[in-house]
Chain A
């Protein structure tokens, strides 16, 4: 049996390891399209701020890990999949045959459709190669403009601030991290950033990036309202898109991502998909969603591999959840953080201390949560949501004081 895995991120690597655990003899080949060993994009902010070296981003730290498991690893870019004869074609023309194929090609950082994106010193912050360029340009006292205050923008904000000192953030939405934060949380986050001397421009669209005629920095970011922000370095964090263009003509069904069923299988026999490229079952909605988060990628990789091995376990869907620190302010969100129709919601807000916790209920079950400044027992919200724990009398206690959420869990599980 030959398993081919396209993509060397967490989904691909976990899948390869799971395949090996289940089949000592199968041929397992990972094809990645970056030159480095498999690494975590999530670790890039910590590479930028100097906390770790490049090898600190690697997914596996043991020397010879892949060799020891007899997992082949090669660099290549897949250009086409021919499902009819179970093979794929790499850039350069080489063909690779498979018995089972896992598409774990992840996502790429998207560009802005405005002039000036090709200027020197305009970079995404997505790959190790990007990080090296950013580290070169984000010198002390340089001006940096970060375009995009979403999840990735916020997570790299502290590193850019530490490296450069002068940082402006441009976000087209009316609030920061609009996909995981309500107005209260996002307002708190913006105020926090401003207290760290970060200029935050929300509801602001970029019209162009052009060479600067005056001011510090050799470029200026031109906003639609005419303002110009001078910069030595422009970092783009305006979103990601799944890598699935190579599937054109393959017959593999796609929507927002590659569509997979409760076995992580695509509509084409012997082809599976996992991780940021996969649009799989979502715990909260029962629909199919691209999560593009680490925990889902790992669950996908494992379940896809078990299915490729023929064990056919059913996947119940992952819970979407996020955690990030924005210039040191920790926030997390789980499931339906914005609630459901007819559900109740309780919140506690402490603006002075940058603390906020909102819980969302459907009946007496927790279905979503959003927290700012909470670092203790955060995971229990995941547990209460995915276990669909009936909270009974505890629901009213939590509506009155959401900060008792860990107590509610202990009371429901340990008493």
Chain B
């Protein structure tokens, strides 16, 4: 059964453990600026919202890639960037309507959440279960799906 990240903003305290864990796992340093998950802080409403790629079915990043550098990990369902194939053209960064693929100038490649190969460190680092890794069928991804449907130019219809 595929699993996915379930985010419950109301449980987030803004401790940023997820950002630290993500940047350490993927970039080898504790630097929230290098994290693939980002906590947004809405001071006026007292709300924190962790946010990252939901590995959407439509995968605009994957279909926009001109050199076949983004593929689906069969085990996790994650859309994964191959550093060897990515040329750094950045088309995926403008194609993703969720804003979750970023260009890393230092490496000349794009980076996105790959679910850490099935053991997402943001979820294990989260002390309040605001981020959990659960069965995909269970998660409420409806908000994202709604967003995806509205973005659709018609190109995502099934063959």
A→B interface (CB under 8 Å): 10, 14, 18, 21-22, 40, 42-43, 46, 51-52, 56-62, 283, 294-295, 298-299, 302-303, 305-306, 309, 311, 313-319, 321-325, 328, 330, 332, 334, 375-383, 386-388, 406-407, 409-411, 413-415
**B107 nearest CB across to chain A (Å):** 11
Task: Please name all residues of chain A whose beta carbon is closer than 8 Å to the beta carbon of B102 when the two chains form the complex.
Answer: 375-378
Is there an interface contact between B93 and A379, defined as CB atoms closer than 8 Å? yes
**Closest CB pairs A-B (n = 7):** A383-B97, A380-B99, A377-B99, A22-B159, A40-B66, A379-B96, A299-B155
With the chains together, A380 CA to B101 CA distance in Å? 10
Known: A61-B67, A378-B90, A379-B95. 9 other contacts (CB 8 A): A18-B159, A59-B67, A303-B153, A311-B157, A315-B155, A317-B153, A330-B90, A382-B97, A410-B40
**A276 nearest CB across to chain B (Å):** 13
Q: Does B29 contact A (CB under 8 A)?
A: no
28 A–B pairs (Cβ distance < 8 Å), ordered by A: A43-B66, A46-B88, A59-B67, A294-B64, A298-B64, A302-B155, A322-B94, A323-B90, A323-B93, A323-B94, A324-B90, A330-B103, A330-B105, A332-B93, A332-B94, A378-B99, A379-B95, A379-B98, A379-B99, A381-B99, A382-B95, A386-B151, A406-B40, A411-B42, A413-B147, A414-B143, A415-B9, A415-B42
**A59 nearest CB across to chain B (Å):** 6
Task: Please name all residues of chain A whose beta carbon is closer than 8 Å to the beta carbon of B96 when the two chains form the complex.
Answer: 379, 382-383
With the chains together, A357 CA to B60 CA distance in Å? 23
Task: Please name all residues of chain A whose beta carbon is closer than 8 Å to the beta carbon of B9 when the two chains form the complex.
Answer: 414-415
Q: Does B116 contact A (CB under 8 A)?
A: no
Task: Please name all residues of chain B whose beta carbon is closer than 8 Å to the beta carbon of A40 when the two chains form the complex.
Answer: 66-67
Question: B146: nearest residue on chain A (CB-CB)?
Answer: A413
**A364 nearest CB across to chain B (Å):** 16
**A126 nearest CB across to chain B (Å):** 15
With the chains together, A140 CA to B95 CA distance in Å? 36
With the chains together, A393 CA to B66 CA distance in Å? 38
With the chains together, A411 CA to B51 CA distance in Å? 11
Q: Does B137 contact A (CB under 8 A)?
A: no
**A71 nearest CB across to chain B (Å):** 14
With the chains together, A208 CA to B92 CA distance in Å? 39
Is there an interface contact between A313 and B98, defined as CB atoms closer than 8 Å? no
B window 101-157: CB within 8 A of A: 101-105, 108, 143-144, 147, 150-155, 157
With the chains together, A51 CA to B87 CA distance in Å? 7
- When the two chains form the complex, which single residue of A14, A295, A303, A380 contacts B154, counting CB atoms closer than 8 Å? A303
Question: B149: nearest residue on chain A (CB-CB)?
Answer: A387
Interface size on B, as a range, is: 35 or more
**B80 nearest CB across to chain A (Å):** 14
Is there an interface contact between A378 and B94, defined as CB atoms closer than 8 Å? yes
With the chains together, A411 CA to B66 CA distance in Å? 32
**Once A and B bind, how many residue pairs between them come within 8 Å at the CB atom?**
171
Is there an interface contact between A43 and B67, defined as CB atoms closer than 8 Å? yes
Task: Please name all residues of chain B whose beta carbon is closer than 8 Å to the beta carbon of A334 when the two chains form the complex.
Answer: 94
**A41 nearest CB across to chain B (Å):** 8
Q: Does B49 contact A (CB under 8 A)?
A: yes
With the chains together, A60 CA to B155 CA distance in Å? 20
Q: Does B23 contact A (CB under 8 A)?
A: no
**A13 nearest CB across to chain B (Å):** 10
Answer whether A313 and B157 are a contact pair too, CB < 8 Å, given A378-B99, A413-B143.
Answer: yes
Is there an interface contact between A415 and B47, defined as CB atoms closer than 8 Å? yes
With the chains together, A414 CA to B98 CA distance in Å? 11
Task: Please name all residues of chain B whose beta carbon is closer than 8 Å to the beta carbon of A330 when the two chains form the complex.
Answer: 90, 103, 105
Is there an interface contact between A61 and B85, defined as CB atoms closer than 8 Å? yes
Question: A19: nearest residue on chain B (CB-CB)?
Answer: B159
**B117 nearest CB across to chain A (Å):** 21
Q: Does B91 contact A (CB under 8 A)?
A: yes
Task: Please name all residues of chain A whose beta carbon is closer than 8 Å to the beta carbon of B157 when the two chains form the complex.
Answer: 303, 306, 311, 313
Answer whether A380 and B67 are a contact pair too, CB < 8 Å, given A305-B159, A306-B157, A387-B151.
Answer: no
Task: Please name all residues of chain B whose beta carbon is closer than 8 Å to the beta carbon of A52 when the two chains form the complex.
Answer: 87
C-beta contact mask, B42-68 vs A, less than 8 Å → 1, else 0? Answer: 100101010100000000100110111
Q: Does B6 contact A (CB under 8 A)?
A: no
Is there an interface contact between B154 and A313, defined as CB atoms closer than 8 Å? yes
Task: Please name all residues of chain A whose beta carbon is closer than 8 Å to the beta carbon of B91 when the two chains form the complex.
Answer: 42, 294-295, 323
Task: Please name all residues of chain B whose beta carbon is closer than 8 Å to the beta carbon of A306 when the two chains form the complex.
Answer: 157, 159
**A5 nearest CB across to chain B (Å):** 15
Task: Please name all residues of chain A whose beta carbon is closer than 8 Å to the beta carbon of B2 when the two chains form the complex.
Answer: none
With the chains together, A380 CA to B103 CA distance in Å? 14
Question: B109: nearest residue on chain A (CB-CB)?
Answer: A51
Task: Please name all residues of chain A whose beta carbon is closer than 8 Å to the beta carbon of B68 when the two chains form the complex.
Answer: 58-62
Q: Does B89 contact A (CB under 8 A)?
A: yes
With the chains together, A51 CA to B152 CA distance in Å? 33
Is there an interface contact between B105 and A43, defined as CB atoms closer than 8 Å? no
Is there an interface contact between A311 and B45, defined as CB atoms closer than 8 Å? no
Is there an interface contact between A321 and B45, defined as CB atoms closer than 8 Å? no
